[in-house]
Structures are given as structure tokens and as C-alpha cells.
Amino acid sequence: ADQAETEVGRLSGGQKARLSLLLATIDAPHLLILDEPTNHLDMESREALVEALSAYTGAVILVSHDMHLLSLVADRLWLVKGGLVTPYEDDLDAYRKMLLAGDPKPDTRPAAAAPAPKRASRDQIMALRAEVRKCEDRLGKLNDMRDKLATKLANPALYEGAKLTEAEMWQKKYAEVMEGLDRAEDLWLKAQEKLDAAEG
């Protein structure tokens, strides 16, 4: 509140980045395109970004080298390399190992058609388990956010006089988190079904 009148040119790099994120999301767009959004952000702002992206109900295209951010919010990975953008079918751990091994690029050529295996491989099952864990982590974070927002909305002081606009903002955030929860539960159920089918 004490910086509400501060000119943008006098803000620090992190404050400018936070302001840019606010301006990008203020009209509730259906698609966000973020290029290295954690650059110049402090740890608290990075965590706020993760919470906001987890609760966001639209689509997000995120370009980042921040493995921590990607591991928490990414549903699908695409590799940008050599002027090409290709789907990356493995997880971030496999990508990290590939980089450490010095492998210049993953094999992105389409695999030759082969008969479907009768039983899922160990690697496939491990990948499915990782997907289930990721879904469970996201559900846990969204449940925590829902509980915090519910506590805030239960405070009678929030609905007094000039605070009504603030109350409406928190109610909107609560609705977005609930939508995000529905989607996250659906993704978790699908991931669990795939894992059960592979293990069974």
C-alpha cells in the first residue's frame, strides 16, 4: 500500500516482474504465455507464482529453465532445440539425466510401428507413478489454498464497509481454486486409472 504511488521506473527488477504478472492476469485471460517468469523474482514471489499458476483455470505456455517451477506446474513438456519444438514424452528427471550425460538431444524421430506390449515396461510404470505423485502434490497445494481462502472468507471483518471489493476479489480467487481442484482431481483420477491398468 505504501508503494501504490511509486513510479514504475523506480521499482526494482523483482517488483517490475511482479507488476507484469499482475497486469497479465488482471483481466482473467484464457491463455497466458510466460517467458522465464521467475527471472528477477525472490523466493516468496516464486512461491506466489507457483500458487497462482496452480490455481489458474486457463491454459499456460511456459518457457523456463527453472526446473523447480516446471516440476510443480507443468502438465506437458515440449523441447525447444535447434529451431524445432517437439513434444518431450519423458519427465524432468529423465531430461536432467540426459543433460548430465551430455546427450545432445533426445531422439525425436517417430518410433516405428510395433505391436503393443502385453505388459507395461518398468520405465512406463515409473513414469505413471511419477505422474500420479505430481497430481497428488498439486491436489495437496490446491486443498491448502482452498482452506486458507475459506478461513479468510469466514472472517466477518472482510465484509465491512469499504472492504466489500476486497471480499469479492477473495471470493473470485476461491472460485478459481475450486475450479482448479475439479480439474486436478480429474487429472489425478485419469493418471491413477492409467497406472492401475499398467500394473494390473
In a domain, 188, yes or no: yes
Domain count, the chain: 1
Average pLDDT over residues 114-142: 79
User: For the residues 41-59, what does the mean pLDDT come to?
Assistant: 79
For residue 17, being part of any structural domain is answered with no
> How does residue 28 score in pLDDT terms, banded at 50, 70 and 90?
low
Res 35 pLDDT > 80: yes
Reading the block at residue 186, the C-alpha cell is 480429474
Residue 78 lies in a domain: no
Query: Residue 88's CB: how many other CB atoms inside 10 A?
Result: 18
Task: Record the pTM.
Answer: 0.41
Domain, as residue range, for 159: 117-200
- For residue 111, is pLDDT > 60? no
Is 62 part of any domain?
A: no
**CB-based contacts of 56, cutoff 8 Å, min separation 6:** 25, 32, 176, 180
Residue 83 lies in a domain: no
pLDDT bin (cut points 50, 70, 90) of residue 114 is low
Predicted confidence at residue 55, as pLDDT, reads 78
Strands 31-35 and 77-81: unpaired
Say whether pLDDT at 158 is over 80: no
Report how far residue 18's alpha carbon sits from residue 22's, in angstroms, rounded to the nearest whole number.
6
Quote the cell numbers at residue 173: 480467487
